Amino acid sequence: MSTPEIIHAHAAPQGFIRKYVFSLDHKVIGIQYYFLALVAVFVGMFLSLLMRIHLVWPTASIPLFGDIKPETYLTLLTMHGTIMVFFVLTTAPQGGFGNYFLPIQIGAPDMAFPVLNMLSFWTTAVAFVVMLAAFFVEGGAPLHGWTGYAPLSAIPSSGPGEQLGADLWILSIAIFCLGSLMGALNFITTVLDMRAKGMTMMRMPLTCWSWFITAILALLAFGVLLAGGILLLMDRNLGTSFFVPAGLSLTGKMIFPAGGFGGDAHFSHAGGSPLLWQHLFWFFGHPEVYIAILPGMGVASQLLSTFSRKPIYGYKAMVYAMLSIGFLGFMVWGHHMFMSGMSPYTAFAFSIMTMAIGVPSAIKTFNWLGTIYKGRIRFQSPMLFAIGFVSLFVSGGLSGPFLAQPVLDIQLHDTYFVPAHFHLIMGVAAIFGIFAGTYYWFPKMFGRMMNETLAQWHFWFSLIGAYAIFMPMHYLGMAGHPRRYSQLTELQYLAPLLPLQKFITYAAVATIAGQFLFLFNFFWSMFKGPKASDNPWESTTLEWTTSTPPPHDNFGGKVPVVNNGPYEYSVPGAARDFVMQTDPPVGSGH
């Protein structure tokens, strides 16, 4: 039986490099992803701080950074958005927690393909470096926004940063796609093929369901983004015209066939379609927002049940809601394009589909409230963030039906109403999911507890701060303040909005300051926190059956056998108020 395993089993590695750098252990890889996202989120936050300062004090000079010019603002904007979406929201919840806990929660010793797993992390890390490199090349980082609409993004002379910086930006995203695809493939195979005995699909924790569905979305969506990126790179560097129409005139410099076909190949742009990029981008882009938020939903579900000491309300409904969100998520991309020149009939169809996708989201909210109803809530820090998640999800979600109606979108599209909407629902809500997961799983990952008092302060700063920053953006948007404006100095009707913008900047400064509570707590607890027991929250899922932190093969040679559903709390007649998944069966497992 001493056949070597190239596919999944591997011995506990020795040596620093094999153990911590090029590790095949999903737990180490998960932590690597998490740290990558941690670096990225602080970079992204710092960029947003500079943006906020420039927006309200356009002439202010930043120490060590210098003046922020209008184009610098757009550069910051682009990098902030891209880093946050790709390297934080796609990386931490899925790559980080998913990698660490998916195998443990389904009772597997590792991911299905550990080598691929390692490659996927390092690919992502390379993508991040390439992204940051865009800041340092000639011309700087691109200014075309995280959506990179062509032809702005397709023509190097369309603005500062659109030269090499834009190429690096696209390249980085393409590399990121490859990394995510490898990860997604691994997640799906692991869920389908590596579940422990007794772990039926319908006994999986909702976190696993969310990672699974997210992986499916990633598998379908990132290929399309990759296609778009390839076409864009070709347009920029090979002179093709997929997205660039003929006869453009850019600041006096003509981008036009010198002599018709067969002329100077480099500038013979001939009749491409800018809308094609938008279709490809948003076909990926809308599923991407679910890639960002679904894992947060999974974590929130798990925590609300655990800390209310109650089974999750409507487990099946939750699963079906996530599946239908994933499914419908591929049919609504056009709601980003109501004002783009797309056919108004198509727009109407997309708007109906978009309203329909609100229904499963409403079901989830309903079930979360149903879960804490008649519970026995313990307000430990993970639970605080889970409750905050629900609050933010509701607030962010309810601005959706405004934007989903094309006739209202006429007024609201590309105003601050949109950043208000997406920051609440996909930005901060997802970040709250990450925080909740961190406070919850930190003991398992690092063997120590985080400090509760600091965590509570962090929670209040973040919750109040998030609302103070993003709620007023709705008002700005309704008043007609366009987004992606680097200053309010030019349009007269924006002048009265300056005080509100200032308020947002103050709130951002305070909120960002509050995040250092988290950073300090994180690293301090890693070394100095009190030792954690194996199951400090009295949870039921498999990661809490093993030691803290888990051994190399997760279960120390024992193979878990699952007898119960994931959320058996307060089972009448049971000895404790929680029945672990590996405990002897109780009546109504799923």
Partner 1 sequence: MATFTPTVPGQKATAGQGGGGGSAPPRRGGGGDSNRGSGGGSSNYGERLRRARLGLACGLTPILMLFVSFTSAYVVRKGLPTLDATTNQYVHDWLPVNLPWTLLIVNSLVLILSSLTMELARRDITRQAALAPAARIPGVSLGRERHFPWLSITTVLGVAFLVGQWMAWRALADRGFYVANTPSSSFVYLLTGMHAIHLAGGVIALLAAGAIALLHRPLDNRRIVVDVTAWYWHFMALLWIYVFALLALVR
Partner 2 sequence: MWAKSIKGIPDDMGLALLAIIWLITLASTYFFVAKTWWLPVGASAAAPWIDHQFAVTFLLMGFIFVAAQVTLGLFSYQYRDRPGQTSDYSHGNNKLELMWTVLTAILFVGLNLMGSHLWASERFAPAHEGATKVEVTGAQFAWYFRYPGPDGTYGKVNPKDISAEEQNPLGLDASDPAAKDDVVSGVMYLPVNREADITLRAQDVIHSLFIPSMRFKQDAVPGLLIKMHFTPVMTGDYEIACAELCGLGHYKMHGILKVVSPEDFDKWIASKEAEKQ
| Binding-site partner at residue 478 among Cu ion, partner 1, partner 2, none, CB < 5 to 8 Å by type | partner 2
3-class SS of residue 139? coil
Range 399-428, binding ligand HEM (CB under 6 A): 419, 423, 426-428
Nearer to partner 1, 278 or 501 (CB): 278
467 part of the interface to ligand HEM, by CB under 6 A: no
Range 225-254, binding partner 2 (CB under 8 A): 245-252, 254
Q: How far apart are CA 413 and CA 146, in angstroms?
A: 16
181 part of the interface to partner 1, by CB under 8 A: yes
349 DSSP 8-state letter? H
User: Using the rule CB under 8 A, which residue among 2, 59, 343, 492 binds partner 1?
Assistant: 2
Nearer to partner 2, 74 or 191 (CB): 74
Q: How far apart are CA 444 and CA 215, in angstroms?
A: 24
Strand partners, 67: 61
99 part of the interface to partner 2, by CB under 8 A: no
DSSP H helical ranges for 57-69: none
Q: Which residues contact 189 (CB under 8 A, 6 or more apart)?
A: 112, 113
Strand boundaries in 266-339, DSSP class E: none
Contact flags string 254-293 toward partner 1, x per CB under 8 A? --x----xx--xx-x-xxxx--x---x--x----------
| Binding-site partner at residue 19 among ligand HEM, Cu ion, partner 1, none, CB < 5 to 8 Å by type | none
**Taking the C-alpha atoms of 118, 120, 125 and 130 in order, what is their torsion angle to the nearest 10 degrees?**
140
Closest approach, Cβ 84 to ligand HEM, in A, equals: 3
506 part of the interface to partner 2, by CB under 8 A: no
Contact flags string 49-68 toward partner 1, x per CB under 8 A? --------------------
Sign (positive or negative) of CA dihedral 206, 404, 349, 226 = negative
Tell me, rounded to whole angstroms, the distance of Cα 16 from its chain centroid: 30
303 closest CA partner among 187, 362, 388: 388
DSSP string, 85-122: IIIIITIIIIIIIIHHHHHHHTT-SS-S-HHHHHHHHH
Q: How far apart are CA 486 and CA 159, in angstroms?
A: 15
465 part of the interface to partner 2, by CB under 8 A: no
Q: How far apart are CA 418 and CA 424, in angstroms?
A: 10
Contact flags string 478-507 toward partner 1, x per CB under 8 A? ------------------------------
Q: How far apart are CA 226 and CA 179, in angstroms?
A: 11
364 part of the interface to Cu ion, by CB under 5 A: no
48 part of the interface to ligand HEM, by CB under 6 A: yes
Which parts of this chain interact with Cu ion (CB under 5 A)? 286
Which parts of this chain interact with ligand HEM (CB under 6 A)? 45, 48, 51-52, 77-78, 80-81, 84-85, 89, 145-147, 419, 423, 426-428, 431, 469, 483-484, 508, 511-512
